[in-house]
Chains A and B, each alone.
Chain A
């Protein structure tokens, strides 16, 4: 077989495999792809789209920082991991839900497409427009006090999940707080941090690996974070796994993780 034909055959196998992996038992097709995000303006807040293999997908709309969906960024590619919601389109794109996106850290100047608002597309379900919030604000006063953990204190493991190539778990502050609170309450004699590096199988069959150093960075940043939160440095140990664990389908993000194991006194 000529090299070119061999490559085509391998590609076909890969695509077939990928196609099979894209279909979950429940019937929802999972799409995993890397693409430039596209922002489409509307009369209210913009919606975010991405194209893959000739199809346009709807990712979500602009909202607040605390919203479940945080929009992607122009000048950066976005890793999309979502399940196709059959038959529904928003802003002209096939809806992916549930969906996870990761903003790729490196700049890509080719990702810079803004589309104007047109009557055809609207997002009437947006909870907030582009202006100030309405109705009344959430008071920024004291937050609810987390319940103090009580004995017995078994060994506990806390897991944080990351965006692709991200060394900070921006959405996991609650888990970090829980780990910190538990460690303090249990007078932990040891806190073991284990950082992981992942890869994700894209829908086209290719693998996308995280930065080689990301597991170490995750572990080191978390160790610093726990120290800043008042955990004695002498009790914290860090380790990391440099070889990537490959994730596939809707659960692929679970491989991009870090664990904090609290070993009580």
Chain B
């Protein structure tokens, strides 16, 4: 049966310039289309199911290719289409520091933050690049695109964490260093229990090297919708109980401390410097002008799912209230969404009731999504033993909902300083994942312990503790935003959920929620629309 979709004239015009601009974007961008990438995905028509045009999709953006990124573009993903909106208009990537290699290994920011992948990068894309380039793409640079630079780089197995989980190596100094470069005195010691990549015990890269470092493996974060994860308010972090929030050294204003898996970079500029010096192997930091341009680009780009193959347009008149990138561009950050007044992802009531009897499949999909939204927003369960959730005054356990923690309107992060331990990195909740390093953390006898794991913790990634040096931060990871999920699997900072179903299953197990299969599917269907 050929699917039919409802749509409205608003449903596909995600930029004010409308069709002409989109077509222009298509023409401009078409020349940079990477054949291998195009072959790796199903061929793409230039219309949505509504018959509306959209810009060229399924494109790998080559660093330095010099093309123009359209003001608005839709990209096919596994469940529909992702919308990417540049609110400042088409972006000329020629010599643009986000798109131009600034270091020595041929990578640019865009290498790991691809518009088609929700400004992160999916394993599907990574594998396609491996196939297309036989592993020679700068994406697979030895420094962090392999499990360890000491491994033979032409072997696929040396890049297994990137190819299987989408993980890049992040090497962090030990003991930790503060933002000003000073050494932080940790209140714990760390041992390598298992080193499947060989990097943590390596004489050149490991804990006992001349520059002692801990190698952890993490997914690239989404570089879109930045106003939401950079905004901060208040003097003190609610997570750390009267710990002052960090401030932007340029403006003196509080920052969100919601950037990167461990919040080690406080501003977009600081993150860009970190990325250029480490991931791009830069000889020097970007110039002031380059940093400014990178930040300006990152602040104007918005990304979210815009079309669902089963439910149709996500941004039409009869669609839920806050989906699609334009709403992200319009709304204000810093608003609490754990309430009926300003719900996290808006109102899905319009899809709760059956619609056109001629479209039963679409109606069923929409009703499922609405049920999933309701489960996310309003289904209580017992949240327990989670550091920086239960330990900050809510009680252990606390009977609440997903939206209690994923409370930032529009993105579903925590409003500020959102590093928590839900069990993705620490054992036993994380499970022993044999391809990841395993560390034993032993905290000082006088250190405030992790509230639920005590002073001896086995972890795949100490998370924020590698920055703060605090035992109570071991295994805490900054929440990721929920937007563009369908375009950028796998999930969690260590890529341990290959699909949204695995993500839902993790929470179901972790908190003994008891979702039915239908409820899990409803949640997956809902998450795919974000």
Could you tell me which A residues sit within 8 Å of B by CB distance?
39, 41, 45-46, 48, 62, 64-65, 70-76, 105-107, 114, 129-143, 167-170, 172-173, 176-177, 211, 213, 217, 225, 228-229
The 9 A-B residue pairs with the shortest CB-CB distance, nearest first, are: A71-B395, A170-B241, A136-B341, A73-B396, A130-B380, A133-B339, A70-B393, A228-B244, A137-B339
Taking the nearest CB of chain A, how far is it from the CB of B245, in angstroms? 9
> Using Cβ atoms and an 8 Å threshold, which residues of chain A touch B343?
132
B343 — nearest CB in chain A belongs to which residue?
Answer: A132
**Complex contact A132–B401 (CB within 8 A):** yes
Determine whether B377 belongs to the interface, using a CB cutoff of 8 Å to chain A: yes
21 contacts between A and B (CB under 8 A): A41-B399, A46-B397, A48-B395, A65-B392, A71-B396, A74-B397, A75-B396, A105-B448, A130-B380, A130-B399, A131-B379, A131-B380, A133-B338, A134-B340, A135-B339, A136-B342, A140-B233, A170-B242, A170-B392, A173-B236, A176-B242
- CB of A132 within 8 A of CB of B396, answer no
Cβ–Cβ contact A229 & B449, under 8 A: no
In the bound complex, CA of A114 to CA of B336 (Å): 30
CB distance from A242 to the nearest CB of B (A): 13
A residues within 8 A CB of B403? Answer: 132
Is A213's CB under 8 angstroms from B446's CB? yes
Given A131-B401, A132-B339, is A73 in contact with B451 using a C-beta cutoff of 8 Å?
Answer: yes
B144 contacts chain A at the CB level, 8 A cutoff: no
A177 to B234, CA, bound (A): 11
B394 on the interface (CB 8 Å rule)? yes
Supposing A73-B451, A75-B452 touch, asked if A133 and B340 sit within 8 A by C-beta, the answer is: yes
A48 to B391, CA, bound (A): 16
Cβ-based interface call for B27 (8 A): no
Inter-chain contacts of A129 with B (CB < 8 A): 380
* Minimum CB–CB distance for B481 against chain A, Å: 17
Main secondary structure of the interface of B (DSSP, over half): loop
CA distance A39 to B399 in the complex (A): 11
Within 8 A of A (CB), among B386-414: 390-401, 403
Bound CA–CA A29/B446 (angstroms) = 35
Query: Least Cβ distance of B464 to chain A in Å?
Result: 16
Interface membership of B415, Cβ < 8 A: yes
Near A by CB (< 8 A), chain B positions 285-334 give: 334
Pair B446/A217 contact, Cβ less than 8 Å: yes
B271 interface residue per 8 A CB criterion = no
Interface size on B, as a range, is 35 or more
Q: Shortest CB–CB separation between residue A145 and chain B, in angstroms?
A: 12
| Bound CA span A260–B391, Å | 26
Whole-angstrom CA separation of A217 from B415 in the bound complex? 29
When chains A and B are docked, how far (Å) is the Cα of A138 from the Cα of B415?
Answer: 13
Q: In whole angstroms, how far apart are the Cα atoms of A127 and B382 in the complex? A: 19
Chain B residues whose C-beta falls within 8 Å of the C-beta of A173 in the assembled complex: 235-236, 242
Chain B residues packing against A (C-beta within 8 Å):
233-236, 238, 240-244, 334-343, 377-380, 382, 384-385, 390-401, 403, 415, 446, 448-449, 451-454
CA distance A106 to B446 in the complex (A): 11
Known: A71-B394, A75-B452, A136-B339. A168 touches B399 (CB 8 A): no
Q: Which residues from A are CB-within-8-Å of B396?
A: 71-76
Q: Which residues of chain A are within 8 angstroms of B234 by Cβ–Cβ distance?
A: 143
Interface contacts beyond A71-B393, A167-B448: sample of 7 additional A-B pairs, CB < 8 Å, sorted by A: A106-B449, A131-B377, A132-B338, A133-B339, A136-B339, A168-B242, A170-B393
A73 touches B334 (CB 8 A): no
> Are the C-beta atoms of A76 and B451 separated by less than 8 Å?
yes
**Which residues of B have CB within 8 Å of A107?**
449, 451-454
Partner of B336, one of A45, A140, A213, A229: A140
Q: Which A residues lie within 8 Å of B341 (CB)?
A: 134-137
Partner of A229, one of B235, B241, B390: B235
Contacts of A168 in B (CB 8 A): 240-243
Chain A residues with CB below 8 A from B236, complex form: 173, 176
Kindly identify which residue among B235, B244, B335, B451 contacts A140, using a CB–CB cutoff of 8 Å.
B335
Name the distance in Å between B363's Cβ and chain A's nearest Cβ: 26
Kindly list chain A residues whose C-beta atoms are within 8 Å of the C-beta of B335. 137, 139-140
List residues of chain B with CB within 8 A of the CB of A71.
393-396, 398
Given A73-B395, A75-B385, A135-B341, A177 contacting B400 (CB threshold 8 A): no
Residue among A65, A114, A135, A169 making CB contact with B393, cutoff 8 Å: A65
Neighbour of A73 across the interface among B242, B339, B390, B448, CB < 8 A:
B390
Chain A residues with Cβ below 8 Å from B377 are: 131-132
User: Across the interface, which residues of A come within 8 angstroms of B394, CB to CB?
Assistant: 62, 64-65, 70-71
CA distance A2 to B241 in the complex (A): 51
Chain B residues with Cβ below 8 Å from A76 are 396, 451
Collect the chain A residues with CB atoms within 8 Å of residue B244's CB: 225, 228-229
Known A73-B390, A114-B397, A132-B403; contact A141-B334, beta-carbon cutoff 8 A: yes
With contact pairs A106-B449, A107-B452, A143-B233 given, residues A45 and B242 touching in the complex (Cβ less than 8 Å): no
Which residues from B are CB-within-8-Å of A138? Answer: 336
Given A107-B452, A168-B240, A173-B242, verify A137-B342 contact (CB < 8 Å).
yes
Given contacts A137-B336, A173-B236, contact A225 B393 (CB under 8 A): no
Contact present for A134 and B233 (CB under 8 Å)? no
Q: Judge whether A130 and B401 touch: CB under 8 Å.
A: yes
CA distance A168 to B244 in the complex (A): 12
